[in-house]
């Protein structure tokens, strides 16, 4: 596990105003064309007579996945050296051309006769390597912009990719295949536009900081304790395993899969566009587990009428958790200057390994126990049990920031140091993370029970006793009793004092107590 101390905002962090929002949103959505290339089929089934042999498909898959893993390893190992290379025009277009060429070779190889094996393998290698590099190139872009823009861009990109997929399904296969080959080039062009605009904005922001003397002030800002977010990485891998294990066992309709993408991505886009201050991104991981377990259990129960619902639920879950994880990781890079190619490269590598484990396990199970369906159902049930168990103990909502490896150093000192070194938590956390962090510290400091912490959270959000009763499903007397105990433990006498205690714990709050 990597542990380090990082100065809050030690790099140039751009505000939305600095980015001139009108010039960015459309370009930021360019990742959608890349994602559409990923989720789109090759659209070559009806182009040529005959299909590749299983041996050839297996060999192409081996080169594709192998090249992808090598690309991710290179980016993680040599992140600082590769970052400038992958940002310049030659690096961006080289990756785009490799992906487009690899896609074309894989799609049209069946028409090449005896050259098909060579073209398929070369195309697969270019396809896999380009996939790894461009995915991290886009995340490098998203790691340099504020969280609201990242949320809109990431979710919007998923939405665009699904809509383009549906469009290609409605077109002639040859036209759809040509469009798919061109999508990486379109994405590369928009990627380059983003890099140019960001470089200009960062230069202007750095110049403004030097002029106003803010650079020196930032250098003296409070440090944070940062460690690699191992628990979220394991969870990301587990979700990848469960989803692809199920996918290769059942092979559901790709149409229903993309319906799940449209649903979850559309909700995130709308909420981030119009209600970002009131939208808690953690809702994505809260709904991911019930959706995934619900979809898998419906499949085990063999409810044929629920086939579409199963595809929607499982893809909604996997997409939602992926969106949540990638947005948070990009925001970590944005706030602390962590190199995106390193952090996200490792997370993506873990996800890819679990993806392959899930796919190959399902294929092996299907081949070995083809006539024993109960074995596959038992294995899927075991996956559900493991997923639920790990989720229960891994993602700690009460101490969200620490779960993701981020804690202000002042939180690790004694009381006197905490009070004397007031940390501006806005420099290291978003409003929801800050509220959860403060609340957890108050509860631990004063010895509140979990239920009392829940009541205090609602009190701090200005909820009435009646609202607290309804939210927590408790009686009026129980709610009043918890409030009396909280007041006694905190040595306070009113709701306002409770709110002030949460707001002032470990330094002044930047966003109040609004969760």
pLDDT tens-digit series, residues 231-252: 888 899 999 999 999 988 876 5
DSSP 50-115: S---HHHHHHHHHHHHHHHHHHHHHHHHTHHHHHHHHHSHHHHHHHHHHHHHHHHHHHHGGGGGGG
pLDDT band at 399 (very low <50, low <70, confident <90, very high): low
One domain, residues 194 and 232: no
- Chain centroid to CA 451: how far? 30
Structural domain includes residue 47: yes
DSSP 434-474: HHHHHHHHHHHHHT--HHHHHHHHHHHTT--HHHHHHHHT-
Structural domain includes residue 359: yes
Phi and psi torsions of 3, nearest 5°: -125, 135
What pLDDT does residue 279 have? 81
One domain, residues 253 and 386: yes
Please say whether the beta carbons of 190 and 33 come within 8 A: yes
Structural domain includes residue 370: yes
Number of compact structural domains in the chain: 3
Please tell me whether residue 407 adopts helix, strand or coil conformation.
strand
Domain that holds residue 389: 228-395
One domain, residues 352 and 468: no
Does residue 391 carry a pLDDT above 90?
no
One domain, residues 149 and 26: yes
Torsion of CA 267, 269, 275, 278, to 10 degrees: 70
Indicate which CATH number applies to the domain containing 137. 1.20.1250.20
> Per the structure block, which two tokens stand in for 213?
């003397």
- E strand or H helix at 408: strand 406-408
> Per the structure block, which two tokens stand in for 45?
């089934």
> What residue has token string 């919007």?
156
One domain, residues 254 and 310: yes
One domain, residues 35 and 180: yes
What pLDDT does residue 420 have? 38
Of the candidates 79, 143, 98, 147, the one whose C-alpha atom is nearest the C-alpha of residue 345 is: 79
pLDDT band at 200 (very low <50, low <70, confident <90, very high): confident
What pLDDT does residue 208 have? 64
Structural domain includes residue 9: no
Structural domain includes residue 42: yes
What pLDDT does residue 47 have? 62
One domain, residues 191 and 235: no
One domain, residues 319 and 467: no
User: Burial level of 103, CB count in 10 A (0-12/13-18/19+)?
Assistant: buried
pTM for the full predicted model: 0.77
């Amino acid at each position: 596990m990597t542990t380090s101390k990082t100065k809050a905002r030690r790099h140039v962090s751009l505000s939305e105003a600095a980015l001139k929002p009108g010039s960015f949103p459309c370009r930021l959505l360019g990742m959608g064309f890349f994602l559409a290339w990923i989720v789109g089929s090759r659209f070559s089934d009806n182009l040529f007579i005959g299909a590749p042999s299983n041996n050839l498909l297996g060999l192409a898959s081996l080169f594709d996945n192998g090249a992808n893993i090598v690309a991710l390893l290179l980016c993680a190992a040599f992140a600082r050296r590769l970052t400038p290379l992958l940002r310049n025009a030659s690096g961006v277009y080289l990756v785009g051309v490799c992906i487009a060429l690899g896609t074309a070779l894989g799609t049209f190889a069946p028409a090449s006769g005896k050259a098909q094996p060579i073209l398929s393998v070369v195309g697969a290698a270019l396809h896999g390597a380009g996939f790894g590099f461009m995915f991290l190139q886009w995340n490098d872009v998203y790691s340099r912009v504020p969280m609201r823009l990242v949320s809109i861009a990431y979710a919007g990109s998923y939405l665009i990719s699904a809509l383009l997929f549906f469009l290609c399904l409605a077109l002639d296969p040859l036209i759809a295949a040509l469009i798919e080959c061109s999508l990486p080039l379109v994405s590369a062009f928009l990627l380059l536009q983003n890099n140019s605009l960001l470089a200009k904005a960062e230069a202007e922001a750095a110049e403004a900081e030097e002029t106003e003397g803010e650079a020196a002030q930032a250098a003296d800002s409070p440090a944070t304790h940062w460690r690699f977010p191992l628990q979220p990485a394991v969870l990301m891998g587990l979700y990848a395993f469960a989803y692809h294990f199920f996918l290769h066992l059942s092979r559901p309709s790709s149409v229903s899969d993309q319906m799940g993408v449209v649903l979850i991505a559309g909700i995130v886009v709308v909420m981030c566009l119009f209600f970002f201050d009131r939208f808690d991104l953690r809702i994505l991981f809260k709904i991911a587990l019930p959706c995934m377990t619900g979809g898998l259990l419906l499949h085990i129960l063999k409810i044929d009428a629920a086939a579409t619902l199963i595809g929607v639920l499982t893809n909604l879950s996997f997409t939602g958790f992926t969106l949540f994880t990638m947005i948070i990781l990009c925001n970590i890079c944005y706030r602390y200057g962590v190199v995106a190619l390193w952090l996200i490269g490792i997370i993506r590598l873990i996800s890819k390994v679990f993806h392959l484990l899930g796919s190959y396990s399902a294929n092996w199970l299907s081949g070995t126990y083809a006539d024993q369906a109960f074995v596959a159902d038992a294995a899927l049930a075991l996956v559900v049990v493991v997923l639920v168990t790990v989720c229960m103990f891994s993602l700690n909502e009460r101490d969200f920031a620490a779960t993701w490896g981020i804690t202000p150093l002042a939180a690790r000192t004694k009381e006197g140091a905490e009070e004397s070194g007031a940390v501006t938590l806005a420099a290291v956390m978003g409003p929801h993370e800050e509220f959860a962090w403060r609340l957890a510290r108050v509860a631990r400091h004063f010895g509140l029970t979990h239920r009392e912490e829940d009541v205090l959270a609602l009190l701090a959000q200005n909820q009435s006793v009646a609202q607290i009763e309804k939210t927590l499903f408790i009686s009026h007397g129980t709610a009043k009793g918890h409030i009396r105990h909280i007041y006694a433990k905190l040595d306070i006498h009113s709701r306002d004092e409770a709110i002030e205690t949460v707001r002032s714990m470990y330094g002044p709050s930047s966003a109040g107590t609004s969760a």
